[in-house]
Amino acid sequence: MEINSIKTSALLMYDGFIQNADARTENWLLMSSPVLQSIIIMAYIFFVTSLGPRLMENRKAFDLKGILVVYNFGVVALSLYMCYEFFMSGWGTGYSFHCDLVDYSESPQAVRMAATCWLYYFSKFIEMLDTVFFVLRKKNSQVTFLHVYHHSIMPFTWWFGVRFSAGGMGTFHAVLNCVVHVIMYTYYGLTALGPKYQKYLWWKKYLTTIQLIQFVMVTTHISQYFFLHDCQYQFPIFIYIIGLYGLIFLFLFLNFWYHAYTKGKRLPKVLQAQTWAHHSNGVMNGHANHKDD
């Protein structure tokens, strides 16, 4: 009886919680409840941390160079498209870059923004393939906690973003992330093409700088909320989440920068390269994943 009471109370709490959700996104793929996405995320974590490495233990690593080229440049194309859609649905057509509220209307522009937010959310499931490719190529040392955490927490938190707050100032970090992914996945795509393209990768050392700039901009933009007078952003909880997320990764990247480019400068060049590679595997959102051996 007590178990049934707990279940009833939990359902009532969930019903009260979901009543505040955006009705426009209710019937979109994966949006009816967070249960299915949670199952996918747990399956992803189980595969990349346990099942996958066990299955590959006594097998030869897969040669995925062709697939990686298509995958990386596919993500570049998708990121470019999302940049355009974010720009056309608000960030280039009326947003002030200050206290931009969520437009819950059925206007074409408001629905376009919500659809772009959903596409960004869905792209996070596509990017889980980064880790799957690690496992299939037996690059298990690159399946770090930070990497798996990043690829798990992004889709989970963005379900709530799309379901409750699809637009407004809380989407600025998504726009920046799409821009950064265009640059980063272009680099990974060129890397996957093979050694003859190494001469075009002179800008590799700037990837960390680009990431740092991204998190500084995200943190600066979202911090405005605490200084703006009478900003009636509908779901302030997302402001706190984005701010915390931005700060955490800003500090992680500053730590990487210090070890790779300050302390590392005192090392011989070979050891500098090893230091850079070690930290980039663990810190750069787990994205330094398509480098050839």
pLDDT digits (tens, 9 = 90+) for 60-93: 999 999 999 999 999 999 999 999 999 999 999 9
Neighbours of 220 (CB within 10 A): 10
CA pair distance 189, 141, nearest whole angstrom:
21
Torsion angle, CA of 38/39/43/46, rounded to 10 degrees? 70
Residue 244 host element (H or E):
helix 236-257
90 belongs to a structural domain = yes
pLDDT score at 8: 72
154 belongs to a structural domain = yes
1 belongs to a structural domain = no
Residues acting as catalytic residues: 150
- Cβ atoms of 291 and 134 within 8 Å: the answer is no
24 belongs to a structural domain = no
- Cβ atoms of 253 and 213 within 8 Å: the answer is no
pLDDT score at 2: 67
Query: What residues make up the domain containing 163?
Result: 33-283
Per-residue pLDDT tens for 135-192?
A: 999 999 989 888 899 899 999 999 999 999 999 999 999 999 999 999 999 999 999 9
Question: Rounded to two decimals, what is the model's pTM?
Answer: 0.86
Q: How many domains does the chain have?
A: 1
9 belongs to a structural domain = no
27 belongs to a structural domain = no
CA pair distance 21, 28, nearest whole angstrom:
13
CA pair distance 21, 74, nearest whole angstrom:
32
Per-residue pLDDT tens for 225-284?
A: 999 989 999 999 999 999 998 888 888 778 777 776 666 554 444 334 334 334 444 444
14 belongs to a structural domain = no
264 belongs to a structural domain = yes
CA pair distance 127, 180, nearest whole angstrom:
14
